[in-house]
Structure 1
């Protein structure tokens, strides 16, 4: 961003957005993150995330994506004291990933209370990666290799479009782009969750699948299991989705800020061992190319 007044304006939007879900923004937490990534924010896509469930209580998450492909967002976080260096493999994974694979762009997540949380590494849309190659990374959770057959059976293993690394929770998100249409049909969702030893999907999850474009899995270093499966749909108006929106999200939706002509949201439902929870990502600074990067058009 070109000056401190623009940065201050973004901070105010973040603060007001958090207040919509009764979360108090910590300036001591957020301002150092904004200044650390300041030079990249003018062209970044900015989104906010609201989620239900116990693990998401008490914080409000922000996401900056479309950061430069040659940037190491975790190195920036370490250099600016936003994250603590660790000997755990989570700390070396991003470096290994960026050295070994083509990266189209990067991103970060942070909470207005919890601070820096995640990095995102986007592969080129015309060069999706294979899990059989990714599992060669020394720092990747062993559970990824352990579930390679699972992802192969469901025709996802060769479609990795995005890798997210969660540093506080020491987990990895694997996004699968342009997944087969049957992935999002009721039988497909049931089969995937059953195979992952997760609970039978709710009717709301099955209905969301009718309009979904995305599926991703969460794995950790501490468990051999696929921890969570998430199904996501993109829409300019979440109220038109064939699901009942959670009250917490609906309240936020009514006043969610945006600074671009187009409004876009991603509504997602996650299946976890503790049950399902809902997430809404609202884009404050939207760019139409996001649909291409997320391969949304493949399911429209």
Structure 2
């Protein structure tokens, strides 16, 4: 199938998935994103996933994310050239280029909403080339919260476990994803202590049960504060019924209505904790290949 045909098929799936959630799918927001990265959809290794979340901030939206190839392209420059994002003097506009200049990026990912349009770019590192926080924490455009928490990451065995960095241009935040996380970080006592140390809300019993099954975590940083804004723990599963916690009704409805390209289902279920509380998010893979990096 050609890249154009793949793109048209994906748009139809996006439209169907949005309808399942009762979310209006705006073609003027979706089609320009797909067109800007059209060459990604003819590539066999491209991963495509959908995500919903239970927080008020994410209400009324369906997010779609996909990986891009070839990896030498600057996906943020592509977004600017296509008019998907506006140029800015804010450091968020420079941080990806600085990261690419300091670290070898294996591939990228794009995140957009069916209502909000283009949102994020992800930089993926390979599992055998996880990055050290200190390697890029001092970049001029990097949020200072990253450098100020290098001690925290070192104490918890995360200093050299960075697998992905995600830049959210709309919210002007940055996510740092950690892979090969030490198992003790998912123990209830450690999770509780970690959240207390970061000034987050006290975890619910449901959150602690889910955390015990987690495979990875990420933190969210902003440019306006030296603190970590959120931390998210994520679990991967092929069967939501096998999770140790019940799934929210809106997420169940989403799962029933969203297809998988090859019929196999794979989900990443995450819980994000902030000072004001916790919320849940589900990522459903439409196209996925074993050995590829998960979004969270």
Tell me the TM-score normalized by structure 1: 0.94
1:160 corresponds to: 162
1:262 CA displacement: 2.5
Q: Deviations for 1:206-235, whole angstroms, at most 9, x for unmatched residues? A: 111221101000000011111000000000
Q: Confirm or deny: 8 A CA contact 2:210 2:245 kept in the other structure.
A: yes
1:3 CA displacement: 5.0
1:90 CA displacement: 0.3
2:262 corresponds to: 260
1:162-201 alignment runs, 5 A limit: 162-201=164-203
Do residues 287 (structure 1) and 292 (structure 2) align? no
2:128 corresponds to: 126
1:294 CA displacement: 4.7
1:261 CA displacement: 4.1
1:26 corresponds to: 26
| Separation of aligned partners in 1, 2:86 and 2:295 | 34
1:244 CA displacement: 1.2
Relative to 1, partners in 2 of residues 1:66 and 1:8: Cα closer, same or farther, differing over 3 Å?
closer
1:147 corresponds to: 149
| Separation of aligned partners in 1, 2:255 and 2:3 | 30
| Separation of aligned partners in 1, 2:39 and 2:159 | 35
> In structure 2, the residue corresponding to 1:126 is in which secondary structure?
helix
Relative to 1, partners in 2 of residues 1:288 and 1:136: Cα closer, same or farther, differing over 3 Å?
same
Across the aligned residues of Structure 1 and Structure 2, the Cα RMSD in angstroms comes to 1.6
1:158 CA displacement: 1.4
Relative to 1, partners in 2 of residues 1:270 and 1:295: Cα closer, same or farther, differing over 3 Å?
closer
1:269 corresponds to: 271
1:39 corresponds to: 39
| Separation of aligned partners in 1, 2:107 and 2:6 | 23
| Separation of aligned partners in 1, 2:154 and 2:234 | 20
Tell me the TM-score normalized by structure 2: 0.96
2:13 corresponds to: 13
Unaligned runs of 5+ in 2: none
| Separation of aligned partners in 1, 2:40 and 2:270 | 27
| Separation of aligned partners in 1, 2:253 and 2:82 | 35
Relative to 1, partners in 2 of residues 1:188 and 1:26: Cα closer, same or farther, differing over 3 Å?
same
1:66 CA displacement: 5.1
| Separation of aligned partners in 2, 1:3 and 1:227 | 38
Q: Deviations for 1:222-252, whole angstroms, at most 9, x for unmatched residues? A: 1111100000000001121001111110111
Q: 1:244 aligns with which of 246, 250, 260?
A: 246
2:116 corresponds to: 114
Q: Confirm or deny: 8 A CA contact 1:263 1:286 kept in the other structure.
A: no
| Separation of aligned partners in 2, 1:208 and 1:106 | 28
| Separation of aligned partners in 2, 1:4 and 1:122 | 25
| Separation of aligned partners in 2, 1:136 and 1:73 | 23
| Separation of aligned partners in 2, 1:70 and 1:36 | 15
1:4 CA displacement: 3.5
Relative to 1, partners in 2 of residues 1:68 and 1:174: Cα closer, same or farther, differing over 3 Å?
same
1:68 CA displacement: 2.8
> In structure 1, the residue corresponding to 2:110 is in which secondary structure?
strand
> In structure 1, the residue corresponding to 2:52 is in which secondary structure?
strand
